Amino acid sequence: MKSVRILQYSFDPHSSGEFPLNLAELFPKGHALAVEVGCGNGEFLVEWAKTKKEWNFVGVELSIASAERFLTRVFQHELHNVIFVRDDARFILRELFPDESVKQVMLNFPDPWPKEKHKSRRIIDPRFVQTLSAVLEYDGLFDLFTDQQWYAQDAEHLFKASGAFAVSNIQQDPERITSTKYERKWKEQFRQIYHLQAIKKKRLQIKRILEESIMPHFIGKKQLKPALIRGLKGLEKIDKTRVFKVKEIFEKQDEQTFLLRTVAVDEDYLQTFFILVASHEQGFIVKLDQGFQPYRTPAVKWAVEVIGKMLIEK
């Protein structure tokens, strides 16, 4: 079936036990690697991959609808040097790619989030620049295309301020190997297109949070108390860079198995998952439910640890 065959181009990093990834397992040929951040429906990346068949490509996109269109497009063109990852690109670029592993990163027409109150949502910020300085090869390239001149200028300032990049002058209406949906839309509105290129010259230090994949679990040597578990609904803990909240609690009729739907945030990366609390031969156990595995981030580990300790101590 086509729907099954197109999945060969999709990669789920949750299945990996090693972070950053061993890229040789994804791309055995070891060719140059390029990444498109926010690849949308794959229109640009497919053409890019066709012009550089000796390279490997990763497209990163959060939208489910775009993901399906992307995978279908890659399948139709029978490209074997492209894989797709559906997730937050800022997190994926930092956590999955080793230092000096990427030759070029492309960012086409990101949402500029022009209002000051939405500034934190912009993909290009000091942390993103630091990430690029780590994962790009020396003399590796970052390319930004946007219809907003102020956005290109703001990015130019951030890259220059980092001291890790040589930054070109902003180019207006550059030639492109292909256009994107948004690029055509903006040109129809007679908007100008701006291109900024930054070349890595220095590596800055970054902090990755997935380097340790050990996941704690708790065994309480006492009787399971359903009332205590139900009382955890709405529990919220906030630390400097991590937050978690128990949103809902589901239980079996025998009152021996509970699932806690939990949301955890590490800095700006959010995950939803389930924590299992169930009877155990020694009492009860608290651990991540196996149905859907989140990344083992500090906030996820913290949620399991706090809930386990609370139930053990009460």
Domain containing residue 152: CATH number: 3.40.50.150
How many whole angstroms separate alpha carbon 237 and alpha carbon 303? Answer: 8
Would the pLDDT of 173 be above 50? yes
Residue 205 lies in a domain: no
Would the pLDDT of 2 be above 50? no
Q: Which amino acid is located at 254 in the chain? A: D
Would the pLDDT of 7 be above 70? no
Of 166, 200, 234, at which residue does a domain stop? 200
Predicted local distance difference test score (pLDDT) of residue 182: 74
* 191 and 222 together in one domain: no
What residues make up the domain containing 244?
218-313
How many whole angstroms separate alpha carbon 259 and alpha carbon 256? Answer: 10
Question: What is the overall mean pLDDT for the chain?
Answer: 91
**The pair of three-digit structure tokens given for residue 128, joined into one six-digit string:** 């993103």
Would the pLDDT of 82 be above 50? yes
Residue 94 lies in a domain: yes
Of 149, 172, 200, at which residue does a domain stop? 200
Split into its structural domains, the chain has a count of 2
Quick one: DSSP state of residue 280?
E
Q: How confident is the model at residue 52 (pLDDT cuts 50, 70, 90)?
A: very high
* 135 and 248 together in one domain: no
The least confident of 141-155, 178-192, 255-269 is 178-192
Q: Sign of dihedral through CA atoms 244, 22, 144, 61?
A: negative
* 192 and 222 together in one domain: no
* 260 and 176 together in one domain: no
Would the pLDDT of 102 be above 80? yes
Whole-prediction pTM: 0.89
**The pair of three-digit structure tokens given for residue 125, joined into one six-digit string:** 């910020």
* 303 and 183 together in one domain: no
